[in-house]
Structure 1
Amino acid sequence: MSGRVNLTRQLVLEAPTRAPDGAGGVMRGWQVLGTLWAEVVARTGRAREGARIFRITAVAEGDLRGRYLTCFAEEEVVA
């Protein structure tokens, strides 16, 4: 990460959960791990408003002091 950091987006970090449904199957859901501030940089020129879901594919240190992380993510399309 070089230059100035612009943390202007508040994001909710969630993890998938699984629990028995009582009938031999599982119920899938999401558990909130926390809320954090981020800078979101699109790789395309397209901008969308409203609720967006991103799947994190990789994480790397964003600076030499370890203050920030760079998360590589793909936007998921929810039907």
Structure 2
Amino acid sequence: MTGPGDLRHRLVLEEAQRVSDGAGGFTEDWVTVATVWAALELSGGGEGVEAGRLAGRMTHGVTLRYRAGVTPAMRFRHGARVLHILAVIDEGARRQWLRCLCEERDL
């Protein structure tokens, strides 16, 4: 079980935002939603072929205080590291803690 003392990592929660490019198309940019304290733990790792080359992947569990609106379309940033959210779980269904299953890709 996670407690307040385990929230040692300062993470930036981001979501993708489409911005018009002025020529009828758009570009995608990541904007900050919030900065949160979280527990970050490595779950596993591996490698596979991405775009014709070998790429590493690490999976992490990120636990933070419950926050409405967190979805798998978002990501966390921890310095230069980017953690893409794969799943969001309301632990115990009590709206106290969120556990996010994340993947850090080496692309």
Q: TM-score, normalised by structure 2?
A: 0.59
Q: Offset of 1:28 from its aligned partner?
A: 1.3
CA distance in 1, matches of 2:2, 2:26: 46
Task: Determine which structure has the larger strand proportion and give its number.
Answer: 2
Higher mean displacement: 52-61 or 19-28: 19-28
Q: Offset of 1:77 from its aligned partner?
A: 2.3
- In structure 2, relative to structure 1, the CA distance for the partners of 1:69 and 1:55 (3 Å cut) is same
User: How many residue pairs get matched?
Assistant: 75
Query: What does residue 26 of structure 2 align with?
Result: 26
- In structure 2, relative to structure 1, the CA distance for the partners of 1:26 and 1:60 (3 Å cut) is same
SS in 2 for 1:56: strand
Structure 2: stretches of 5+ with no match in the other structure: 46-57, 59-78
State the identity %: 36
Match of 1:61 among 76, 90, 94: 90
Higher mean displacement: 19-28 or 61-70: 61-70
1:7 aligned partner, one-letter code? L
Query: What does residue 13 of structure 1 align with?
Result: 13
Structure 1: stretches of 5+ with no match in the other structure: none
CA distance in 1, matches of 2:9, 2:2: 18
- Contact kept, 8 Å, 1:53 with 1:77, in 2: the verdict is no
